[in-house]
Amino acid sequence: MSNDNSTAPLNNNSNNNNDDKKINENAKPPRSSSRRCGLCCSITSAVLIPILSILIYFILSRLGVGAPSPPHSLFKNPQEPLLSPSDLEIAARLPLPPGNVAVDQDGRIFFNFHPEFNGDLHDILKENYTKIAIMGSDDVTFYPYPDLAFQAEVISVLSLRIDALHRLWLLDFADHAIQHSPKLFSIDLETDSLSMRYTFPADVAGTGSMLNDMQVDPSGKYIYIADTSIVARRPALVVFDIDRKISYRLCDSLPSFYGSSYQLQVEGLSIPNLGPLGMSIHIDSIALDRSGSYLYLGAVTSRGLLRLSTSHIVYMVERMASKLGEDPKALEGKYR
């Protein structure tokens, strides 16, 4: 009896020790697993850090730390309005904000709905869906122009102008040329039909460009276009030769074309409402004098206004055209 009782505890202790050893062995993580975890962390850090750095650089370079909007006291010699409020009348009552408006010699009103309106044109306009329109006989009726089928061909038209030859020009910046190429359309207002369609090459208006505003030379030979380039951040002046149907990119990334970062105030609202970040909008508005001798342009978020002699611009374009040789499009867009 005593032998049986004395041996039983020994066997139990032995079993317990063996179980403890197994538990301890199992509790130790395999070296290969810890190495894999460390490798995964290193790879994750190596991928995330560059991505975050690029994102931060992109935000700061495009928006920047915004300075307060300049006070109105900085604007010297304010002029009285040329027209009093009583001289104005409502020409159109629209369901959505327009982008630009043009009136032809017959008094017909053409306009486009703003392409960056924060809403779905399809849902709001429904059967009256249109991007380019002409006003009807009253101030609430409008129709797709030149027809409904053309609306599917344009993507994001912002600038439209009528020239001295009675042509309506439409500039499509194609949603910053992310998936499509920007285009220029010409519509003959005598026949209300599309007369020209031009696609800008990538070296003139590539990905991230924004062909925002334009002016047509009084002679009807050239169109001057501002590439605001909010995304790519490469503002430039683009010149389109109407007769040759060739475009040129000039003054690419000229320092004077860049805007500063400002926290814009519109009717008491901050734009953008992103804390210390501001908004930087480069060369945008562009205008010609009545003779077409000078081109005026400037960045939206800038205190400066630039003036360029169109004779110098035309000289550069003509000099380039004289070197083209047999293939007129061989060097399209190459001149900087």
**Phi, psi (5° rounding) for residue 2?**
-65, -35
**Phi, psi (5° rounding) for residue 291?**
-85, -15
Distances (CA, A) of 112 to 141, 295, 327: 14, 25, 36
Cross-strand bridge partners of residue 161:
169
Distances (CA, A) of 182 to 4, 167, 325: 97, 19, 26
**3-state SS assignment for residue 247:** strand
Predicted pLDDT of residue 50: 75
Predicted pLDDT of residue 228: 96
Task: Indicate whether this model's pTM tops 0.85.
Answer: no
User: Tens place of pLDDT for every residue, the chain, 336 residues?
Assistant: 444 444 444 444 555 555 554 545 555 555 556 666 666 777 777 777 777 766 665 655 666 666 776 665 655 666 788 888 899 999 999 988 999 999 999 999 999 999 888 777 767 777 667 899 999 999 999 999 999 999 999 999 999 999 999 999 999 999 999 999 999 999 999 999 999 999 999 999 999 999 999 999 999 999 999 999 999 999 999 999 999 999 999 999 999 999 988 887 777 777 766 767 788 899 998 999 999 999 999 999 888 899 999 999 998 888 877 765 545 455 555 544
Please give the DSSP secondary-structure letter assigned to residue 234: -
Residue 210 · residue 228 · CB < 8 Å: yes
Residue 185 · residue 173 · CB < 8 Å: no
CA–chain centroid gap for 88, Å, is 32
Residue 104 burial (CB count, 10 A): 14
Q: What domains does the chain contain, in order, with CATH numbers? A: 85-174 (no CATH), 200-336 (2.120.10.30)
Cα–Cα distance between 208 and 227 in angstroms, integer? Answer: 10
Predicted pLDDT of residue 52: 74
Q: Where are the alpha helices (DSSP H) in the chain?
A: 2-27, 31-62, 121-125, 174-177, 310-322
**Phi, psi (5° rounding) for residue 161?**
-140, 150
Bond prior to 272 in cis (omega within 30° of 0) = yes
Cα–Cα distance between 138 and 73 in angstroms, integer? Answer: 41
Cα–Cα distance between 126 and 110 in angstroms, integer? Answer: 20
